[in-house]
Amino acid sequence: MPETITLPNLLAGWPCVPSISPYHEEVARESRAWIEGYQPLSPKSQARFDRCEFPLVATLAYPEVSREHVRLAADFMMWFALFDEITDVKTGSETRKLAEKLIAIMRYPTTVLLEGDPILVQKTQDLWLRTLAFSVSSSANKLLLSLEQYILAVCEEAEDREIKRVRNIQEYLALRRGSAASEAIYLLGSLHIDIPETVMSHPMVRRLTLLGGNLVCIHNDIYSYNFERAHGVHGHNLVTAVMKEKGLGVQGAISYSGTLFQQTVLEFMENVSQVSILFAGEEGLNVYIGCMLKFVVALDEYSFLSPRYFGEKRFQVRRTLTIQLAPEPQGREYDSLFAMKGEMESCQMTTVDQ
Q: State the residue range of the domain holding 257.
A: 4-343
Q: Is residue 85 part of a domain?
A: yes
Q: Report if residue 353 sits inside a domain.
A: no
Q: Per the domain annotation, does 319 fall within a domain?
A: yes
Partners of 168 in the β-ladder:
none
Please write down the HEC assignment for all residues of 114-169.
CCCCCHHHHHHHHHHHHHHHHCCHHHHHHHHHHHHHHHHHHHHHHHHHHHCCCCCH
Task: Report if residue 75 sits inside a domain.
Answer: yes
In a domain, residue 157? The reply is yes
The set of residues, in sequence order, having a beta carbon less than 8 Å from that of 344 and lying 6+ positions away, is 246, 248, 251, 252, 253, 255, 256, 259
Dihedral sign for Cα atoms in the order 228, 229, 233, 236? positive
Query: Alpha-carbon distance 82 to 76, whole Å?
Result: 10
CATH number for the domain that contains residue 196: 1.10.600.10
In a domain, 354, yes or no: no
* Among the listed residues 299, 251, 308, 347, the one whose alpha carbon sits nearest the alpha carbon of residue 6: 251
Rounded Cα distance between 269 and 140, Å, is 27
Provide φ and ψ at 324, rounded to 5°. Answer: -90, 125
Total domains, the chain: 1
Q: Residue 313 corresponds to which amino acid? A: K
Q: CB of 75 within 8 A of CB of 127?
A: yes
Q: Has residue 28 been placed in a domain?
A: yes
**CA-CA-CA-CA torsion sign (224, 229, 232, 238):** positive
- Closest by Cα among 224, 72, 60 to 143: 72
Beta strands in the chain (DSSP E): 4-6, 322-324
Per-residue pLDDT tens listing for the chain (354 residues): 679 999 999 999 899 999 999 999 999 999 999 999 888 888 888 999 999 999 999 999 999 999 999 999 999 999 999 999 999 889 999 999 999 999 999 999 999 998 889 999 999 999 999 999 999 999 999 999 999 999 999 999 999 999 999 999 999 999 999 999 999 999 999 999 999 999 999 999 999 999 999 999 999 999 999 999 999 999 999 999 999 999 999 999 999 999 999 999 999 999 999 999 999 999 999 999 999 999 999 999 999 999 999 999 999 999 999 999 999 988 777 776 665 555 555 566 666 654
CA 233, CA 160: separation in Å to the nearest integer? 11
Q: Does 350 fall in a domain?
A: no
As a whole number of angstroms, the distance between CA 145 and CA 110 comes to: 18
